[in-house]
Amino acid sequence: MNDITSKARIGFIGLGIMGQHMAAHLLVAGHPLAVYNRSPDKAAALVAKGAVACANPAQVAQQSDVIITMVGYPSDVEQVWLGAEGIIAHARHALLIDMTTSSPALAKRLAEESAKAGHQAIDAPVSGGDVGARDAKLSIMVGGEASAFDKALPILQLMGANIVHMGGAGAGQHTKMSNQIVIASSIMGVCEGLAYAKGAGLDSAALLQCIGGGAAGGFQLNVMGARIAKGDFAPGFFIEHFLKDLGIALAEAENMGIDLPGASLARKLYNEMADKGQGRLGTQALFQLYMAGV
């Protein structure tokens, strides 16, 4: 593998709301970048800045020392990593990094299959949404061997500001599930608080200024609450993807014998929105459900 700090050829697969920003940071840092996205138009801006567009994951793998995936669902991860045109089959003793929020069991499988093929793999899901991705301030939760983490760290530092090695394969995904469980109840609290304030006739912007600096403050209130106050429900993170994450978290919790009533309620409420065709809105759009009868 080339010098990972400055010379490594990087492949990036999945150029969605967050992936586009993350890949751009790697390009700006001077890494040769090969990209693939199922919708080729999403690669255009990066190609215009010097990235090489590839026709499939195999082409990305064949010309990269480090390959990063940031796709939608565990089924997408399986296809990109394990399919006939996947990266495990076509990479050449590479470092493979999955930054998708996926299942811990799949992360372990990917690490095992990667090792059999002569690669190293880590699971490195992220938190921070579109803002964190744009500003390279993501929190990155890493599972895998310490040696693989050490190799990946200079690359991860180009995309995130809070990077923690949490343990072996799958530990990054378990950490992300904990993150999503916290968010599930937090965003409900934000929506309920703003709905109450609306009902009481309070100014939402003034409310956020007042309580955002106190014990209630945090990303969900200060960032997502501000979007709610402006009527901005565009996705920084899709409802449909949050439902995917909650499904994984609740299944894992069930396997551990843990009851998660907050996460269960959040999934119920977000399912109501998805059933109404609102799954492509941002998670802060839950506020609309609270205000539906007002």
Question: Active-site positions?
Answer: 176
**Bridge partners of residue 140, in order along the sequence:** 126, 163
Residue 232: closest CA among 163, 130, 118: 130
What stretch of H or E contains 196? helix 171-199
Q: How far apart are CA 156 and CA 124, in angstroms?
A: 9
What are φ and ψ of residue 102, in 5° steps? -140, -170
CB 87 within 8 A of CB 67: yes
Interatomic CA distance for residues 271 and 48, integer angstroms? 39
Q: Which amino acid belongs to residue 197?
A: A
Residue 81 near residue 94 (C-beta atoms within 8 A):
no
Q: In the chain, at which residue ranges do the beta strands (DSSP E only) sit?
A: 10-13, 33-36, 52-53, 66-69, 95-98, 120-123, 126-127, 138-143, 160-167
Number of C-alpha atoms within 13 angstroms, CB side, residue 96?
A: 31
Amino acid 119 reads: H
Angle at CA of residue 184, ends 223 and 244, nearest 5°: 110
